Structure 1
């Protein structure tokens, strides 16, 4: 472990999300389950059982960096609800072109890393990157109805 960030086990994260969900889900109001990185995995794994209208997955960690053979695509492919993935173009946890075809929408933040930061030489600043992200999300949410 030696100074590396370690996310809690998936079962622990899922249990915590299930516990919080009732406070988010007001009767009669649709809820989009969302998360970033490990939270995106939680949203994907639990959406159908919790009755989410849809899933918004930011920086979905398709695989550990440098380990594409350890794919987590099954979690993304089995949400059972409309799903949007917003992914940085240079995300070491999975670049957009690495994602399999599936029943979800995928939008890229050009040159973005796992936190959507973009290099200065990219020609896109932080505000521009966030504009791409928020624009994609707003358009997708509007299409949900």
Structure 2
């Protein structure tokens, strides 16, 4: 597989090649997921290539996703490309999301298309969708949606979600500090049929679980990804809205 990057500034790069895409079509691989590169984990570096906890976590996520039959297109926001710590302003981030979705549609060859990301990436994807629907996207997937700053409970960040008219999946740890469970459950319930909550017991914002649970982080991640694939399969079987 060969990674592709354009202009070094928020443009999408894909973890595939034309040969890989042809192979996926022959195997009948399922949905294509557009995901913002992971950020915000302990020890995370915004630069690509550093083998810290975040990059290893992201590598495991990509391997698991491929094994579950989901094609993926990953991309970075401009601030990550620059090695900056401060996230991009929403208009810049929204433009990066739209560029990634456009690139995915070029590669999809008819595969059902889903978009999302973890934390900031998921939030920016949802905002972009709320402002103007992302062409061809069948649903949104959020890993650790940041409902509010840690220690400052609020649902203000969820207000735009009521303008999203396609299905949404929230994969959230029950101990996620930027998403108090009762507020998250109220938000999902208020979104009615548009939203599904997949709760991961004892997991924090990085999907880490305490040793006392007897589970390892890769097991938790694998379960979250399996739940994602099941949800995308259900949505893919429905007529596009």
TM range (shorter): 0.7 to 0.9
- Is the deviation greater in 79-88 or in 22-31? 22-31
Does the CA-based 8 Å contact 1:44-1:78 persist in structure 2?
no
What per-residue deviation string (whole Å, max 9, x for no partner) do you get for residues 61-102 of structure 1? 001111113631113332210110101111111033321222
Q: What does 1:78-89 correspond to in 2, within 5 Å?
A: 78-89=163-174
In structure 2, the gaps of 5 or more residues are: 1-84
* Residue 50, structure 1, aligned to residue 130, structure 2: no
Name the larger-Rg structure: 2
Number of aligned positions between the proteins: 141
- Listed as ranges, the gaps of 5+ residues in structure 1 are none
Q: 1:107 aligns with which of 181, 198, 215?
A: 198
Are residues 1:37 and 2:37 paired? no
**1:121-140 pair list within 5 angstroms:** 121-140=212-231
Q: Give the ranges of 4+ consecutive aligned residues of structure 1 lying more than 4 Å apart after TM superposition.
A: none
Tell me the equivalent position of 2:89: 9
* Worse-matched range after superposition: 89-98 or 50-59: 89-98
Q: Give me the whole-angstrom Cα distance separating, in 1, the residues matched to 2:146 and 2:234.
A: 25
Give the conservation status (yes or no) of the 8 Å contact 1:88–1:95: no
What TM-score, normalized by structure 1, do the two folds share? 0.86
TM-score (norm 2): 0.54
Q: Which residue of 2 aligns with 1:66?
A: 151
Does the aligned pair in 1 maintain the 2:147–2:154 contact within 8 Å? no
